[in-house]
A and B are shown apart, each in its own frame.
Chain A
Amino acid sequence: MTKRSFNFGMTMKQNAAFVVAFAVLTVLWLLYNMLHPRGFSSAVLIQNTNESVVIVFVAIAQTLPVLMGGLDLSVGAVMTLTNCVASALMSGSPLQIVFGAFVTLLTGTSFGLLNGLIVVYGRIQPIIATLATGSIAIGFALFIRPQPGGEVDGDLGWALTNDLYELVFTYGWWDADASWFVTISWIPVPLLIIVIVSFGVWIPFKRSVTGRTIYAIGSSESAAFMSGLPIERAKIAAFTLAGFFAACGGLYLAIQTSSGNADISQAGSYTLNSIAAVVLGGTSLLGGIGGAIGSLVGALLLRMMAFYFRIMSIDPLLQPLIEGVVLLTAVSLGAWRTLSTKNRLQLFR
Chain B
Amino acid sequence: MSSPIMRLNSVSKNFGATQALDNVDFSCESGSIHAILGENGAGKSTLIKIMSGVLQPSAGSLFVADKELKLQSPTQAAQEGVVCIFQELSLVPDLSVADNIFLDSPPKSWGLIDRKKQGEGAEALLARIKCEDIDPSSLVNELSLSRRQMVEIAKALGKKPRVLILDEATSALTSQDVETIYGLLGELKSEGVASLFISHKMQEVERLCDTLSVFRNGQHIETFKKGAKSDSDIVRLMIGRSVDAQFPVKRPMVQRPERLLVKNLCWENQLRGVDLTLGKGEILGLGGLDGQGQKELLLALFGVLRGVDGEVSVEGQFVAPNSPAAAKSAPMNIALVPEDRKTEGLMLPMSIADNLMIASLDRISQGPFISPLKEQQAVEDGIKKLQIKVGSVDHAVSTLSGGNQQKVVIAKWLRTQPDIILLNDPTRGIDVGTKQEIYKLMQELAEQGKSILLYSTDYAELIGCCDRVAVMYDGKIVSELEGEEINEEAIVGASLNIAENMSTRSQGAAI
Residue numbers of A with Cβ under 8 A of B are: 1, 4, 7, 10-11, 14, 204, 207-209, 212, 215-216, 218-220, 222-229, 288-289, 341-345, 348-349
Q: Name A4's contact: one of B111, B136, B306, B343 (CB within 8 Å).
A: B136
Contact status A4-B93, CB under 8 Å: no
**Shortest distance between the CB of B48 and any CB in chain A (Å):** 12
The interface bits of chain B over 264-280 (1 if a CB of A lies within 8 angstroms of the residue's CB, else 0) are 00011000000000000
User: In the assembled complex, which residues on chain A have CB atoms less than 8 Å from the CB atom of B139?
Assistant: 14
User: In the assembled complex, which residues on chain B have CB atoms less than 8 Å from the CB atom of A348?
Assistant: 343
Q: Name A226's contact: one of B54, B95, B113 (CB within 8 Å).
A: B54
Q: Name B305's contact: one of A1, A207, A219, A344 (CB within 8 Å).
A: A344
**Shortest distance between the CB of A61 and any CB in chain B (Å):** 21
A219 to B94, CA, bound (A): 6
**Shortest distance between the CB of A7 and any CB in chain B (Å):** 7
Contact status A349-B93, CB under 8 Å: yes
Contact status A219-B268, CB under 8 Å: no
**Shortest distance between the CB of A181 and any CB in chain B (Å):** 32
User: In the assembled complex, which residues on chain A have CB atoms less than 8 Å from the CB atom of B75?
Assistant: 228
**Shortest distance between the CB of A345 and any CB in chain B (Å):** 5
Does B103 make an interface contact (CB < 8 A)? yes
Contact status of A342 and B86, CB under 8 A, knowing A10-B137, A212-B95: no
Does B141 make an interface contact (CB < 8 A)? yes
**Shortest distance between the CB of B120 and any CB in chain A (Å):** 8
Contact status of A1 and B127, CB under 8 A, knowing A216-B95, A228-B75: yes
Does B112 make an interface contact (CB < 8 A)? yes
- Which of A14, A220, A224, A348 neighbours the largest number of chain B CB atoms within 10 Å of its CB? A220
Contact status A227-B104, CB under 8 Å: yes
Chain A to chain B contacts (Cβ below 8 Å), 21 pairs: A4-B119, A10-B135, A10-B138, A14-B139, A208-B113, A209-B113, A216-B92, A218-B94, A219-B94, A219-B95, A220-B93, A222-B90, A227-B104, A288-B95, A342-B267, A343-B304, A343-B306, A344-B306, A345-B304, A349-B141, A349-B343
User: In the assembled complex, which residues on chain A have CB atoms less than 8 Å from the CB atom of B94?
Assistant: 215, 218-220, 288-289
**Shortest distance between the CB of A13 and any CB in chain B (Å):** 9
Contact status A228-B299, CB under 8 Å: no
9 additional A-B residue pairs with CB within 8 Å, beyond A226-B54, A342-B268: A4-B135, A4-B136, A10-B137, A209-B104, A223-B91, A227-B90, A342-B305, A343-B296, A343-B299
User: In the assembled complex, which residues on chain B have CB atoms less than 8 Å from the CB atom of A216?
Assistant: 92, 95, 103
Q: Which residues of B in the span 68-95 have a Cβ within 8 Å of any Cβ on A?
A: 73-76, 78, 86, 88-95
Contact status of A223 and B89, CB under 8 A, knowing A1-B124, A212-B113, A341-B306: yes
Contact status A226-B123, CB under 8 Å: no
User: In the assembled complex, which residues on chain A have CB atoms less than 8 Å from the CB atom of B307?
Assistant: 342
Does B508 make an interface contact (CB < 8 A)? no
Contact status A228-B104, CB under 8 Å: yes
User: In the assembled complex, which residues on chain B have CB atoms less than 8 Å from the CB atom of A11?
Assistant: 137
Contact status B135-A212, CB under 8 Å: no
User: In the assembled complex, which residues on chain A have CB atoms less than 8 Å from the CB atom of B141?
Assistant: 349
**Shortest distance between the CB of A103 and any CB in chain B (Å):** 28
Does B493 make an interface contact (CB < 8 A)? no
Residue of B nearest to A208 (CB): B112
Contact status A224-B137, CB under 8 Å: no
A286 to B254, CA, bound (A): 53
Contact status B135-A223, CB under 8 Å: no
The interface bits of chain B over 294-315 (1 if a CB of A lies within 8 angstroms of the residue's CB, else 0) are 0010010000111100000000
User: In the assembled complex, which residues on chain B have CB atoms less than 8 Å from the CB atom of A288?
Assistant: 92-95
Residue of A nearest to B339 (CB): A345
Contact status of A7 and B306, CB under 8 A, knowing A212-B103, A219-B95, A220-B93: no
Q: Name A344's contact: one of B92, B95, B304, B343 (CB within 8 Å).
A: B304
The interface bits of chain B over 328-370 (1 if a CB of A lies within 8 angstroms of the residue's CB, else 0) are 0000000000000001100000000000000000000000000
Q: Which residues of B in the span 101-119 have a Cβ within 8 Å of any Cβ on A?
A: 103-104, 106, 111-113, 115, 119
Residue of A nearest to B104 (CB): A228
Contact status of A223 and B92, CB under 8 A, knowing A229-B104, A344-B305: yes
Does B375 make an interface contact (CB < 8 A)? no
Contact status of A227 and B305, CB under 8 A, knowing A4-B136, A209-B106, A209-B113: no
A215 to B93, CA, bound (A): 10
A343 to B302, CA, bound (A): 11
Contact status B123-A229, CB under 8 Å: no
Contact status A208-B111, CB under 8 Å: yes
Q: Name B92's contact: one of A4, A14, A219, A342 (CB within 8 Å).
A: A219
**Shortest distance between the CB of A96 and any CB in chain B (Å):** 33
User: In the assembled complex, which residues on chain A have CB atoms less than 8 Å from the CB atom of B124?
Assistant: 1
User: In the assembled complex, which residues on chain B have CB atoms less than 8 Å from the CB atom of A215?
Assistant: 92, 94-95
A341 to B307, CA, bound (A): 10
A209 to B305, CA, bound (A): 38
User: In the assembled complex, which residues on chain B have CB atoms less than 8 Å from the CB atom of A14?
Assistant: 139
Does B425 make an interface contact (CB < 8 A)? no
Contact status A207-B103, CB under 8 Å: no
